[in-house]
Structure 1
């Protein structure tokens, strides 16, 4: 197939100067029969951002996410700040990011991370409390006493560039890793997400390359990074042993094609790579893909 670069999606030619919206997303992991697997959900086709695309559970922060008393968490606010390793981040912001990650995972796939002993009756009680008007954090504290933010392991931080390539909305997203709690099953909500599927990183990239699923650049590059790990323990140990990298994609147009480059690329201002693998994606064949094709993704 001949690569075609034509601008089939409306790339923006002017910078967006609005501040990026704080958000959180979670790569929920489990050990499958052939190794590490990650949970992905397919966003509803009518979604305002990334409709029809397979993503990790997550979303924007709610005001209530930051209105949680320090004693409601199983970590101190200061510990939440320290593990994100961002000098400009306040304790309230760090708490809100952790709480939002847990809340969004519950809302989109009905998983209560960090709770291996979670029962269906407790799930129903949580749902009832929220249905009666309690916010998620308050209802969760009532059911579990402590909100298990320690179940989350910071993985990376992505900031949408001022010249976006996928959406005119900008996001400042913290990515977390988390282990699937024993005894729980992911179920998509049928509204924001229309499918929940467990895939090995390699299978997800192969399905993307075969045009079986759609992936956005942050998901592509996160799967490339995850594909290096044999199991959940290895991925979590790696994440716990290093500072979460800041990923600020640098987009530019070359020969009629939109290119997005990442740390370590010759065109990126940060010379230190954030992961092994490709350092740029180019919009060809109506999607973003690396030079070298599938081989580059899986090398």
Structure 2
């Protein structure tokens, strides 16, 4: 049986959350729509993925994850120059209205710039900006992070077009019902643009690393890295693709609309997360 069918060990803190929620007859929080991005880059053996560890004060603190965060009002109201599939096409892939799909895609691009310093935009529909690590770009990133400027305004000020075609939809996960903060998260993949580099700039992370997906998953299984099921499963899925061409091909047929939700259950091996649908 696969590890996905056997389930995943549950951290004690989450087991306690679930116990208290059930004992008190809690009402599930409404999930906030969010987006996360697996940044990938070529490596000598195959390819690597970028991971950040959330600071302890954050939701899911101490866990390794991919850059991402919630959709906010500026994403929903954005009037941005757009390249790639139009919002209606994105909506068909994500199971959303065109307006909601545009907001999710904008959130994915915005969050990966805020948290990793990588900008999926260019002067036109065929190009991508190069190095965005200079002082002027860092000032713009900080202003965006502080909500002093919207993502669409930032791009407009610099004459840039959002390259939605650089994002590949992969999956959708919803946080378990017992968690006080819940997210309905759309997972995307993106190849690190040539000339750009990730930077440890997020105030929400205390460690970052590049690793082969299979290696990161093995390190998590060994207890070296702490991850929740969405990260573990996704690492296994992309690792199974073999190389970046295989990942891109797999993304074309992925179901990115049907949500997967981890459920905490008692098993002979102790509390474990099981997935629905499996």
TM range (shorter): 0.7 to 0.9
- Offset at 1:148? 1.5
- Offset at 1:11? 3.2
Matches within 5 A, 1:13-162: 13=19, 14=22, 15-47=26-58, 49-69=59-79, 72-74=81-83, 75-84=85-94, 86=95, 89-115=96-122, 116-120=128-132, 124-125=136-137, 127-128=139-140, 131=143, 133-162=148-177
Q: Return structure 1 stretches of 4+ with deviation > 6 angstroms.
A: none
Change (3 A) 1:220 1:16: farther
TM-score, normalised by the number of residues in structure 1: 0.76
Q: Do the aligned residues in 2 keep the contact of 1:23 with 1:174 (CA within 8 Å)?
A: yes
Q: Do the aligned residues in 1 keep the contact of 2:55 with 2:204 (CA within 8 Å)?
A: yes
Matches within 5 A, 1:219-298: 219-244=231-256, 245-255=258-268, 257-263=270-276, 270=277, 273=278
Query: Matched residue pairs, number?
Result: 253
Q: SS of 2:156's equivalent?
A: helix
Change (3 A) 1:214 1:148: same
- Offset at 1:180? 0.6
Task: Measure, in 2, the Cα distance between the counterparts of 1:130 and 1:6.
Answer: 35
- Offset at 1:112? 0.6
TM-score, normalised by the number of residues in structure 2: 0.82
Task: Measure, in 2, the Cα distance between the counterparts of 1:129 and 1:175.
Answer: 22
- Offset at 1:184? 0.7
Task: Measure, in 2, the Cα distance between the counterparts of 1:190 and 1:216.
Answer: 20
CA RMSD, 1 decimal: 2.5
Task: Measure, in 1, the Cα distance between the counterparts of 2:237 and 2:10.
Answer: 28
Q: Which has the higher contact order (CA 8 A, sep 6+)?
A: 2
* 251-260 or 150-159, larger mean C-alpha shift: 251-260
Q: Do the aligned residues in 2 keep the contact of 1:6 with 1:256 (CA within 8 Å)?
A: no
Q: Do the aligned residues in 2 keep the contact of 1:250 with 1:262 (CA within 8 Å)?
A: yes
Q: Which residue of 1 aligns with 2:197?
A: 185
Change (3 A) 1:232 1:141: farther
Q: Do the aligned residues in 1 keep the contact of 2:264 with 2:273 (CA within 8 Å)?
A: yes
Unpaired runs of 5+ in structure 1?
264-269, 274-299
Q: Do the aligned residues in 1 keep the contact of 2:119 with 2:132 (CA within 8 Å)?
A: no
* 171-180 or 203-212, larger mean C-alpha shift: 203-212
